[in-house]
Amino acid sequence: QVQLVESGGGLVQAGGSLRLSCAASESTFTINRMGWYRQAPGEQRELVATIWSTGYTNYSDSVKGRFTISRDNAKEIVWLQMNSLKPGDTAVYYCNYRGLRVGAPDLDFWGQGTQVTVSS
């Protein structure tokens, strides 16, 4: 069971920056993906950015060019640098860890969520 501990949320004015971090309790899966999802009130949870243990990254179109995801494989930590924040980025941000298993379904683990609020 992988546990995820998030930090770094808060309140910021539009145009400002925040950095989220998420640490995984263990490195159980050789191939894994860490990333961030977000959920605004009344909305479905959506992907923000992900990064594989190989270094491959993926971003939602809404954050490309503003957010940067990075990770430390040895420490199993993932960061999300968020710049040029907009009120539309306001949401609870959830850290996700997906472990790949040969011949079995992937396993997903979630953090408790951290609130990001961007004021106009």
Indicate if the pLDDT at residue 29 is higher than 90: no
**Of 75, 26, 28, 78, nearest to 52 (Cα)?**
78
Q: What is the percentage of the chain residues whose pLDDT exceeds 70?
A: 100
Q: What does the mean pLDDT of the chain come to?
A: 95
Indicate if the pLDDT at residue 1 is higher than 90: no
> What is the reported pLDDT for 90?
98
What is the average per-residue pLDDT within 41-59? 96
Compute the distance between CA of residue 25 and CA of residue 76 in angstroms, rounded to an integer: 8
> What is the reported pLDDT for 28?
78
